[in-house]
């Protein structure tokens, strides 16, 4: 049983003075050049220094609380972040003070991989180690292939289609090739992250009824010397234009909400690139505000509270659920260290 639900997210600045320290938290130890931080800082400052992610999380949490109440599940929801306030260690301390002894953890990522999964396990382990009497924390599983995730995105894609001819393009956050190769247990052969993204794209496209589509990547932030998953969305728009594609519909299937990386990389940079090429442009809305998303979260909770069936649309193994920050398997999604 569980006494609470912890909503664990990435975090984001909520005023201009927060931006630089937030970015330094995000990139610490990753070798990101200072000039890249300068560039990204300007992206945030262009929105007043406020990332939409915290407000999106609060809205989604309120919807989950309402859904829990509607299903007569008495489970308080706490909110903690990895990189900015409310910091997860502070939230876990509050939970302990409130008498919470066991909690489920919903991570705002649908996928496996180091950044998408293992790092959430590390957040849990670090927060518990900082708090005397911390509750046991059980991270919920990957949900990229959950029927509610897929149907919410499929309807969002349908709503975005306003062109008689278009190319459907799915996007997700790029990661270094080495990190993708290390994602998943070693005996699985790696590439769990990119394979899951490709599967989510396949499932959404099939529900929409589109047989031919692309999967591309966005938001790389590492040094230029490190190879990352490609093609990048901006390069891909050039390639589509060269083929005479008149319009694109983008689906940010790698994300659960329309946070700043989506708003900047797609609604700003990609939209401007498409306009400069004379291409039509539309983007599907991420699902965190869809009522099905709250239902999805509560379904994942009920898998633990009442042995609800595990609903999924792929043959991929159920993964990502462990207790107190333990990895899914020995060597699973380990961080790639660079000199």
Q: Do both 42 and 165 map to the same domain?
A: no
Residue 193 lies in a domain: yes
Q: Is the peptide bond before 231 cis (omega within 30 degrees of 0)?
A: yes
Residue 270 lies in a domain: yes
Q: Do both 138 and 155 map to the same domain?
A: no
- CATH number of the domain where residue 161 is located: 3.40.50.1400
CA pair distance 154, 166, nearest whole angstrom: 16
Q: Do both 119 and 136 map to the same domain?
A: yes
What pLDDT shows up at residue 339?
Answer: 44
What pLDDT shows up at residue 18?
Answer: 92
CA pair distance 104, 306, nearest whole angstrom: 13
Q: Do both 151 and 282 map to the same domain?
A: yes
Q: How many domains does the chain have?
A: 2
**Residues 218/232, Cβ–Cβ less than 8 Å:** yes
Residues with Cβ within 8 Å of residue 200, at least 6 apart in sequence: 110, 111, 144, 145, 149, 150, 153, 170, 253, 254
CA pair distance 149, 303, nearest whole angstrom: 16
Q: Do both 125 and 228 map to the same domain?
A: no
At 183-230, the pLDDT tens digits run: 999 999 999 999 999 999 999 999 999 999 999 999 997 778 899 999
Where is 6: in which H helix or E strand?
strand 4-9
Q: Do both 17 and 62 map to the same domain?
A: yes
Strands 77-81 and 4-9: what pairing?
parallel
At 272-325, the pLDDT tens digits run: 999 999 999 999 999 999 999 999 999 999 999 999 999 999 999 999 999 999
Contacts 24+ apart (CB under 8 A), 240-244: 240/167, 240/169, 240/279, 241/277, 241/278, 241/279
Residue 313 lies in a domain: no
What is the percent of the chain with per-residue pLDDT over 70, rounded to a whole number?
Answer: 99
At 89-121, the pLDDT tens digits run: 999 999 999 999 999 999 999 999 999 999 999
Q: What is the 3-state secondary structure (H, E, C) of 172-223?
A: EECCEHHHHHCCCCHHHCCCHHHHHHHHHHHHHHHHHCCCCEEEEEECCCCC
The domain containing residue 158 runs over which residues? Answer: 147-286
pLDDT band at 338 (very low <50, low <70, confident <90, very high): low
Q: Do both 108 and 160 map to the same domain?
A: no
pLDDT at 267 over 80: yes
Q: Do both 220 and 278 map to the same domain?
A: yes
Q: Do both 195 and 221 map to the same domain?
A: yes
pLDDT band at 35 (very low <50, low <70, confident <90, very high): confident
Residue 46 lies in a domain: yes
What pLDDT shows up at residue 323?
Answer: 98
At 44-80, the pLDDT tens digits run: 988 899 999 999 999 999 999 999 999 999 999 999 9
Q: Do both 176 and 124 map to the same domain?
A: no
Residue 165 lies in a domain: yes
Residue 324 lies in a domain: no
What pLDDT shows up at residue 27?
Answer: 85
pTM, entire model: 0.95
Q: Do both 76 and 182 map to the same domain?
A: no
What pLDDT shows up at residue 222?
Answer: 74
Q: Do both 224 and 118 map to the same domain?
A: no
What pLDDT shows up at residue 224?
Answer: 81
What pLDDT shows up at residue 162?
Answer: 96
Burial of 69 (0-12, 13-18, 19+ CB in 10 A): exposed
Residue 26 lies in a domain: yes
With vertex at residue 190, the alpha carbon angle to CA 31 and CA 105, rounded to the nearest 5 degrees, is 75
Residue 330 lies in a domain: no
What is the percent of the chain with per-residue pLDDT over 90, rounded to a whole number?
Answer: 89
Top pLDDT among 339 and 280 is at 280
How many residues make up the chain in this entry? 339
Q: How far apart are the first and last CA of the chain?
A: 44
């Amino acid at each position: 049983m569980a006494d609470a639900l912890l909503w664990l997210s990435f975090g984001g600045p909520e005023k201009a003075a927060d931006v630089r320290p937030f970015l330094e938290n995000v990139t610490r130890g990753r070798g990101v050049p200072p000039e890249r931080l300068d560039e990204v800082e300007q992206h945030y400052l262009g929105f007043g220094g406020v990332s939409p992610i915290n407000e999106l999380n609060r809205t989604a949490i309120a919807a989950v609380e309402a859904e829990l109440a509607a299903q007569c599940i008495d489970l308080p929801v706490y909110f903690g972040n990895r990189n900015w306030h409310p910091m997860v260690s502070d939230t876990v301390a509050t939970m302990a003070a409130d008498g919470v002894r066991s909690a489920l953890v919903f991570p705002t990522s649908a996928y496996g991989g180091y950044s998408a999964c293992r790092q959430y396990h590390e957040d849990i382990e670090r927060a518990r180690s900082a708090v005397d009497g911390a509750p046991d924390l059980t991270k919920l599983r990957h949900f990229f292939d959950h029927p509610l995730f897929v149907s919410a995105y499929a309807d969002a894609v349908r709503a975005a289609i306003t062109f008689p001819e278009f190319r459907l393009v799915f996007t997700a956050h790029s990661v270094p090739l080495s990190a993708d190769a290390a994602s998943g247990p070693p005996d699985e052969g790696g590439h769990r992250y990119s394979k899951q993204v490709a599967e989510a794209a396949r499932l959404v496209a099939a529900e929409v009824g589109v047989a031919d589509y692309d999967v591309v990547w966005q938001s790389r932030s590492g040094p230029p010397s490190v190879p990352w998953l490609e093609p990048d969305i901006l390069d891909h728009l050039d390639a589509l234009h060269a083929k005479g594609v008149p319009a694109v519909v983008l689906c940010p299937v790698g994300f659960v909400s329309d946070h700043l990386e989506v708003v900047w990389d797609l609604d700003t940079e990609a939209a401007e690139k498409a306009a400069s090429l004379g291409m039509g442009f539309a983007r599907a809305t991420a699902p965190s505000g869809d009522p099905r998303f709250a239902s999805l979260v509560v379904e994942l909770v009920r898998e633990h509270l009442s042995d609800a069936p595990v609903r999924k649309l792929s043959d991929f193994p159920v993964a990502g659920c462990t207790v107190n920050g333990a990895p899914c398997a020995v060597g699973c999604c380990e961080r790639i260290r660079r000199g």
